[in-house]
């Protein structure tokens, strides 16, 4: 926690210093080049790509904005209120916002966008997290009503942590037809110049942008003239581009950080991952993983600090509970009751469960992300007499296998910025959709139900859920991972939170770039 605060403080200090220096503060123009590993479409309703969603957010804006400390601020909505029963949210919109083609934004545009996002024909992979929304109504040009299916305390979080609920331009959508997604018109600080398929995405500054959220210094047009996102899937090529200065900004791997820090023209930032990834999931519908002793033994066999040292090169820290310490609702008690490395205890528990002579299991491993991690875990398991046979599976089949119960032990996990993920991930009613450990635990269900119903005591119930999950050991969290981003020093004045690349929008308001 403190590491990140320190980083934020440092950057704030940097910005203060920069704003005192007239030269840097006045600098406008320039091109900043980002390396991204993939891209699919700017039609974020149907995008499955984090980078695409991040870029799309620079082209648009959302109703509310969230700062690094998880406070919600007005953005396109100047204010909002919710009804007593939580079934109706009313947002009051700014009246001075225009699309890139000059047309004014109205509440109707939001209604159209939300309707399209939720329509079954759209088949949006994003719609799942917004299931609680029933429909939206435009009362007048600046008043938007969002009607709910159930009271959903975290609506603001979902409206602010990605750009998914940004206004589309309905007439432009019709006009673009098949090309929508390669063409886009929004209300954001940048205007789309070109999508060169498979190659790059180029944005130019929107000089009319004047509606930045209040917590950034510059609410007007951004300083950097042009942003170019170059698609480079190959990490060693990204590294080469950072070295030569052809790339200004890119996510990098932990193993390259030490080397990159030796280069004077680069700054390497780090941010914590939020959620529980990676974690081992144990298949509760399969013996012997329905035996709590086996699950606890597998937990005790993990030397989490070693995994941090080897896989993350010492960055990051062990994680014992189902949500990371950077999320609101985190309960510190998990550090105490979590399963610490204890191979002796692991062997004892295995012996008690009847596996004194060893246990052989199939270890499904998400490739390529966790290949190395799994190899180290395999050896740690071997040390306590567990033979884990690694089977590589890729992201698209992982969930199919998990939901069908077609695994013994599997690397899985989630990114989440709030604690409601516990309900969505572990509740019995979620089996078949999520709940990959396939736990049907009525006590856990009762606790999780209360996290949504008993809003007044929500914190207590969330703590309780964490305690229960650790005790039952349905999963073995491993570590809180760290994301790294390398930035060329000619870029100055940015607020960066690499935990979430999609937050580019809010954090480049004040950035400038030195000319070459």
Partner 1 sequence: MADKIGDRSATKTRAHADNFWVVSLRALRRDAAAMIGLAGLLLIILVTLLSPLLAPHDPLYQNYRARYEPPGGATYPFGTDDLGRDVLSRVLWGGRESLGVAALAIAIAMGGGVVVGLISGYYGGWRDVLIQRVTEVWLAFPGIIFLIVLVSILGTGLEKVMIAVGLTLIPGYGRLVRGAVLAARAQDYVLAARALGARDARIMFHHILPNILPPVIVFATLGLGSAILIVGGLSFIGLGVNPPAPEWGAMLLYARDKWRQAPWLSFYPGAAIFLTVLCVNLLGDGLRDALDPKLR
Partner 2 sequence: MLLFILRRAFFAIPVLIGVSLLTFIMFQFAPGDPAQLILGNFATPEGIAEQRAIMGLDDPLWLRYLRFLAGAVRGDLGKSYFGRQPVMDEILARLPSTFELALSALTLAVVFGVSIGIFSATTRSRLADRGVMLLALLGISLPNYFIGIQLNYIFGVRLGWVSAIGGVGDFKHLILPATTLAVAIGATLARLTRSNVLEVIHADYVRTARAKGLEERLVLWRHIMRNALINIVTVIGLNFGVLLGGTVFIESVFARPGLGLFTLSAIGKRDYAQVQGIVLVFAASFVFANLIVDLLYGFLDPRIRYS
Position among 207, 358, 382, 432 found at the interface with partner 2 (CB under 8 A): 432
CA–CA distance, 208 with 250 (Å, rounded to integer): 28
Three-state secondary-structure class, residue 457: helix
DSSP state, residue 225: S
CB 78 within 8 A of CB 63: no
Nearest approach, Cβ of residue 502 and partner 2 (Å): 16
- Judged by CB under 8 A, does residue 264 bind partner 2? no
Q: Which of 26, 123, 357, 442 touches partner 2 (CB under 8 A)? A: 123
DSSP string for 307-361 = HHHHHSTT-SEE--SSS-TTSTT--THHHHHS----HHHHHHHHHHTT-TT-EEE
What residues between 338 and 367 interact with partner 1 by CB under 8 A?
A: 365, 367
Least distance from partner 2 to the Cβ atom of residue 262, Å: 15
Q: Judged by CB under 8 A, which stretch of 14-22, 55-63, 431-439, 458-466 contacts partner 2?
A: 431-439
Interacting partner of 194 out of partner 2, partner 1, none (Cβ under 5 to 8 A depending on kind): none
Q: Give the residue, chosen from 25, 70, 204, 310, that forms a contact with partner 1 under the rule CB under 8 A.
A: 310
User: Do the Cβ atoms of 26 and 492 come closer than 8 Å?
Assistant: no
Q: How far is the CB of 128 from partner 2 (least distance, A)?
A: 2
Contact stretch for partner 2 (CB under 8 A) within 227-235, 251-259, 324-332, 442-450: 227-235
Q: How far is the CB of 78 from partner 2 (least distance, A)?
A: 30
SS3 per residue for 61-97? CCCEEECCCCCEEECCEEEEEECCCCCEEEEEECCCC
Question: Could you tell which of partner 1, partner 2, none binds residue 392, using a CB distance below 5 to 8 A set by kind?
Answer: partner 1
Answer with the entry of partner 1, partner 2, none that 244 interacts with (C-beta below 5 to 8 A by kind). Answer: partner 2
Sole window of 15-23, 124-132, 147-155, 490-498 interacting with partner 2 (rule: CB under 8 A): 124-132
Q: Does 193 bind partner 2 (CB under 8 A)?
A: no
Q: Which of 5, 21, 38, 457 binds partner 2 (CB under 8 A)?
A: 38
> Closer to partner 2 at the Cβ: 200 or 253?
200
Site for partner 1 in 365-384 (CB under 8 A): 365, 367-368, 371-372, 374-376, 378-379
Counting contacts by CB under 8 A, is residue 181 touching partner 2?
A: yes
Q: How far is the CB of 479 from partner 1 (least distance, A)?
A: 15
> Which residues make Cβ contacts (< 8 Å) with residue 243, sequence separation at least 6?
263
> According to the binding rule CB under 8 A, does residue 396 interact with partner 2?
yes
Phi, psi angles (nearest 5°) of residue 405:
70, 25
Q: How many CB atoms lie within 10 A of CB 343?
A: 16
CA angle 281, 441, 475 (to 5 degrees): 15
Helix, strand, coil shares of the chain, percent, nearest 5, are: 35, 25, 40
Cα–Cα distance between 219 and 433 in angstroms, integer?
A: 41
Using the minimum distance from each CB to partner 1, give the nearer residue, 197 or 379.
379
3-state secondary structure 240-305: HHHHHCCCCEEEECHHHHHHHCCCCCEEEEEEECCEEEEEEEECCCCCCCCCHHHHHHHHHCCCHH
Q: Which of 178, 264, 344, 516 binds partner 2 (CB under 8 A)?
A: 178
Distance of CA 295 to the CA centre of its chain: 28
- C-alpha torsion 298→335→501→7, nearest 10: -140
Write down the least CB distance from residue 256 to partner 1, Å.
7
Within 10 angstroms of residue 316's Cβ, the number of other Cβ atoms is 22
25 binds partner 2 (CB under 8 A): no
Using N-to-C axis directions, what is the helix angle for 343-352 and 292-300, rounded to 10°?
Answer: 160
Angle subtended at Cα 155 by Cα 154 and Cα 156, rounded to the nearest 5 degrees: 95
d(CA 282, CA 469): 13
Contact range with partner 1 by CB under 8 A, out of 167-175, 248-256, 267-275, 346-354: 248-256
* Residue 490 engages partner 2 in binding (rule: CB under 8 A): no
- Pick 9 or 397: Cβ nearer partner 2: 397
Is residue 390 part of the contact set for partner 1 (CB under 8 A)? yes
> Residues 112, 168: contact at Cβ < 8 Å?
yes
Q: Tell me whether residue 144 or residue 431 sits nearer to partner 2 (CB atom).
A: 431
- Applying CB under 8 A, the span of 61-69, 224-232, 284-292, 447-455 interacting with partner 2 comes to 224-232
- Where along the sequence are the contacts to partner 1 (CB under 8 A)? 235-236, 239, 253, 255-256, 258-259, 306, 309-310, 365, 367-368, 371-372, 374-376, 378-379, 390-392
- Where along the sequence are the contacts to partner 2 (CB under 8 A)? 35, 38, 40-41, 43, 46-49, 52, 120-121, 123-129, 131, 178, 181-182, 196-200, 230-234, 236-238, 240-241, 243-244, 246-247, 394-397, 399-400, 424, 432-434
């Amino acid at each position: 926690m403190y590491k990140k605060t320190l980083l934020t403080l440092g950057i704030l200090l940097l910005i203060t210093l920069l704003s005192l220096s007239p030269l840097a503060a006045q600098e406008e123009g320039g091109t900043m080049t980002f390396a991204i590993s993939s891209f699919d479409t700017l039609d974020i309703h149907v995008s499955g790509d984090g980078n695409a969603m991040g870029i799309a957010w620079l082209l648009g804006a959302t109703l509310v904005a969230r700062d690094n400390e998880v406070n919600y601020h007005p953005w396109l909505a100047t204010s909002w209120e919710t009804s007593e029963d939580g079934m109706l949210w009313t947002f009051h919109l700014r009246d001075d916002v225009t699309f890139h083609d000059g047309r004014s934004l109205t509440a109707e545009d939001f209604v159209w966008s939300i309707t399209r996002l939720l329509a079954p024909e759209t088949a949006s992979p994003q719609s799942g997290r917004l299931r609680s929304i029933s429909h939206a109504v435009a009362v007048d040009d600046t008043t938007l009503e969002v009607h709910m299916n159930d009271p959903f305390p975290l609506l603001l979080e979902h409206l602010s942590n990605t750009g998914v609920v940004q206004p589309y331009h309905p007439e432009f959508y019709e006009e673009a037809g098949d090309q929508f997604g390669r063409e886009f018109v929004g209300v954001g600080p940048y205007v789309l110049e070109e999508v060169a398929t498979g190659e790059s995405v180029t944005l130019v500054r929107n000089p009319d942008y004047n509606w930045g959220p209040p917590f950034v210094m510059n609410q007007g047009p951004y300083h950097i003239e042009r942003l170019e996102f170059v698609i480079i899937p190959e990490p060693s090529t990204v590294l080469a581009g950072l070295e030569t200065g052809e790339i200004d900004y890119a996510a990098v791997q932990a193993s390259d950080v030490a080397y990159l820090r030796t280069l004077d023209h680069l700054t390497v930032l780090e941010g914590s991952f939020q959620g529980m990834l990676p974690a081992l999931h144990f298949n509760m519908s399969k013996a012997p993983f329905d035996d709590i002793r086996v699950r606890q033994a597998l937990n005790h066999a993990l030397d989490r600090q070693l995994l941090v040292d080897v896989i993350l090169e010492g960055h990051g820290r062990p994680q014992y509970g189902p949500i990371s310490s950077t999320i609101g609702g985190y309960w510190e008690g998990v550090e105490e009751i979590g399963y610490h490395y204890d191979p002796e205890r692991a062997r004892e528990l295995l012996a008690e469960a009847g596996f004194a002579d060893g246990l052989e299991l199939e270890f499904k491993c998400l490739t390529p992300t966790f290949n190395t991690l799994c190899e180290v875990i395999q050896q740690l398991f071997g040390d306590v007499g567990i033979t884990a046979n690694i089977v590589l599976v890729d992201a698209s089949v992982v969930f199919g296998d998990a939901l069908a119960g077609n695994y013994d032990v599997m690397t899985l996990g989630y990114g989440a910025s709030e604690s409601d993920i516990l309900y969505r991930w572990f509740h019995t009613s979620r089996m078949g959709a999520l709940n990959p450990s396939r736990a049907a635990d009525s006590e856990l269900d009762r606790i999780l139900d209360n996290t949504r119903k008993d809003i007044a005591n929500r914190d207590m119930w969330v703590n309780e859920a964490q305690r229960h999950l650790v005790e039952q050991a349905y999963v073995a969290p491993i570590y809180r991972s760290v994301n790294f981003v390398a930035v060329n020093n000619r870029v100055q004045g940015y607020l960066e939170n690499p935990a979430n690349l999609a937050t580019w929008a809010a954090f480049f308001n004040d950035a400038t770039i030195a000319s070459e």
